[in-house]
Amino acid sequence: MTSRLPLIFGAGSFGLPGPRSNGARIHTVEHAQQLVDCYMSHGYNTIDTARLYGGGTSEEFLSQMELGACFVDTKVYPGQHGDFSAKGIRESLKKSLEALGKHNIRTFYLHSPDRTVPIEETLRAVNDLYAEGHFEQFGLSNYNAWEVAEIVGITTRNNWVKPVVYQGCYNAIERTTEVELFPCLRHFGIGFYAYSPLAGGLLVGKILSEEAMTTKTGGRWDPKVSHLAPHLRATYAPMIPVVRELKEGLDKYGLRLPEAAQRWLQHHSALQPGDAVLIGAASVEQLEKNIGDCKAGPLSEEVVELLERAWQQAKPFAPHYAW
C-alpha cells in the first residue's frame, strides 16, 4: 500500500558538514543510501535535491549512490544577484550535471526568483537547455502566483518549455498558498509538491519553547550548521504556543503531532491528484515512521477541527509563501 499522494524523498539533509551545509545532517554516502533504500522499498521513485543543498555536496552524494528507477529533480538557486542570467543558469546546470554524474535530471527548478535579471532572459536560457536535452521538465519554487502567471504567459507566447510543477511550503499551520497560488496552479494545470510538511520540524513536537529552539544544536536550527537557522527561528518562534496547544489537544486522542500533520496533508488539505509531498528523515526508523504516517487513513472530524483551530491561531504569524 502507498499513500494517497506520492511521496518524494528530500535529499536536503545529505552533504558534508560545514558552515554552508544548510543543515545537512547525513554526512556519509552509506547512511544516505540506507535511507534511499528504505524509501524505494515502499514503491516511491523520486529524489529531490538542489545545487544549494549541502553546499553542492548533496548532488555529489547522489552520484555515488544506487537509485534504482528513481527520478532525480534538482534546482538552481540565485545566491547572488545576476545568477539567473543566461550564463548563470547554464553554469549552475552544468555544475549539477557534473555533480550528479550518472544520474539524469528529470525536473529542473528555479529555486526562487532572481528579480535582478529580466525573467525573459532566464526563461530563454531554461528553454535552450531543455532543447539541448539536459532535463525532462521545468519547475518553479517559491514564486508569487502573479509571477507564475507571467512565466506561463511568456513561455506560451514564445513556445518555450512551460513549468509543469511548483514546489512550495505547505502544512497544517502554513496554508498561505491556498488563497491565490493554488487557484493559479489549478488554472494552468501545474502540479504542487509540498515541502516542509512538518513546518521545518516544528510539528515533530519536540520544540515546545523558544529555549528548546535556540539551544538545539547540529541541525537546521543551529546557526553554526545552517545559515538559514536565523530565518527559521524568526519564522517559527511565534508559532510555538500554537503547536504546544495543538499537541496537548492531540494527546487526548492518542495521536502524535507529526502523524496528525501528515494525515491532514494526505486527506484533508487542498492537495489533489497530481500533487505530492516531500519527506525526509535522519534515520531509517524515523523514515519508516514518517512513511507509515503518510499511509494512514483520514482523521476524525474532531481532530480536523483541532488542526483548523491551530491554523486560525497561526495565520497572523504565517509567512508569505513566496520568497
Three-class DSSP category at 98: helix
CA 114 – CA 135 distance, rounded (Å): 21
Is 5:271 a contact under the CB 8 Å cutoff?
yes
In the chain the first and final C-alpha atoms are separated, in Å, by: 36
Contact 210, 239 (CB under 8 A): no
Three-state DSSP class for 240?
Answer: helix
Q: Is residue 106 within a helix (H) or strand (E), and if so which, with residue range? A: strand 105-110
Would you call 295 exposed, middle or buried from its count of C-beta atoms within 10 A (0-12, 13-18, 19+)?
Answer: middle
Burial of 138 (0-12, 13-18, 19+ CB in 10 A): buried
Q: How many Å apart are CA 250 and CA 253, to the nearest integer?
A: 5
Q: How many CB atoms lie within 10 A of CB 248?
A: 12
Determine whether 53 is an active site residue: yes
Catalytic residue among 39, 53, 166, 170: 53
- For residues 240 and 208, the answer to whether their CB atoms sit within 8 Å is yes
Residues tagged active-site: 53
